[in-house]
Every structure is written in structure tokens, then in C-alpha cells.
């Protein structure tokens, strides 16, 4: 399913790296930057999430919460978050349901792995509407951070 700008973001509840259930509906009234990434501890994923960590004030100043999702287990995400000192929630889509809802799941990834999240970025406004959507086919690319922050600045 392809997510269209202006559509309502599909709701979800996933476990965080802290083993807490996190629901998108709990973020209504705030902007959300929803990032999907293929796998913890890989080069581009680490670079992407550390970029967000280092620039978290850009998101905070836009009344936005960052949520990052992968198909890794909560335990793997907890170690990744600790090692990289990430300052936003990492959510486990181990069953691949949310990645599929958002249209960002590889049928086959590298080395024949099935069902890995595509690197993607979505901006969801305070009403739960999608205002920005970027799904990358090439896992070696990073999201367009400038487009994400420009979209957030228009939502202020």
C-alpha cells in the first residue's frame, strides 16, 4: 500500500527498545517524523540515526517527535540505542505489519533476507495526516533531511 500525502497515517502500536508499547495515537496534537530503517548496526542506518540524534533540536523546535522503526527485535534495538546514544524512541516492527501498512517493506533485501523495512521518512501533522512521504528503494541512500525539516517548518 502506498501512503499518499493528505491521507490519515495508519495507526499502530509497537514495542520500543525499552519494552514499552508505543502507539501513534498517543502523539496526536504533535507533529511526528516517522523513520523506517532496514537494520540496526549497519553503516547507513547508523549514519542516518546519528544524524537525527545530532540534529534533534531541529525536530524539537518544530514540535515534532521522532520515532524510528525497524524489523529488529526490541532487545537488538535497545543495544543499538545504547551504543549510539540515540535520543528518540526505536520501535520494533518484528512482525513487519507496520512496514507493510506504510508501503515500505522489501520483498527481498540483501543476502536473500525477506521482509526488511525500506529506508523511509514520513511527516505526520498534529491531526494525523501525512504531510511528507519518502520511500527509498536504495538502502544506501538517506532520507532528504532538508525536505523533512522544510515540511515541519510549514506546519509551525
Please identify every residue annotated as catalytic. 45
Burial of residue 140, with CB atoms counted within 10 A of its CB: 0-12 exposed, 13-18 middle, 19 or more buried: exposed
Residue 118 φ then ψ, to 5° = -80, 145
CA nearest 35: which of 91, 83, 75? 91
* Tally of CB atoms within 10 A around 92: 23
Could you tell me which residues are beta bridge partners of residue 23?
13
The sign of the torsion formed by the CA atoms of 149, 154, 155, 156 equals positive
Amino acid at each position: 500500500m502506498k501512503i499518499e500525502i493528505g491521507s490519515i497515517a495508519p495507526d499502530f502500536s509497537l514495542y520500543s527498545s525499552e519494552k514499552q508499547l508505543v502507539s501513534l495515537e498517543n502523539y496526536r496534537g504533535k507533529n511526528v517524523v516517522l523513520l523506517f530503517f532496514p537494520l540496526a548496526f549497519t553503516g547507513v542506518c547508523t549514519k542516518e540515526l546519528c544524524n537525527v540524534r545530532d540534529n534533534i533540536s531541529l525536530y524539537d523546535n518544530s514540535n515534532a517527535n521522532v520515532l524510528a522503526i525497524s524489523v529488529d527485535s526490541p532487545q537488538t534495538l535497545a543495544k543499538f540505542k545504547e551504543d549510539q546514544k540515540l535520543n528518540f524512541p526505536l520501535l520494533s516492527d518484528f512482525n513487519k505489519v507496520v512496514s507493510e501498512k506504510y508501503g515500505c517493506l522489501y520483498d527481498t533485501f540483501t543476502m536473500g533476507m525477506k521482509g526488511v523495512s525500506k529506508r523511509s521518512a514520513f511527516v505526520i501533522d498534529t491531526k494525523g495526516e501525512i504531510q511528507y512521504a519518502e520511500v527509498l528503494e536504495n538502502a544506501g541512500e538517506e532520507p532528504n533531511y532538508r525536505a523533512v525539516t522544510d515540511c515541519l517548518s510549514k506546519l509551525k
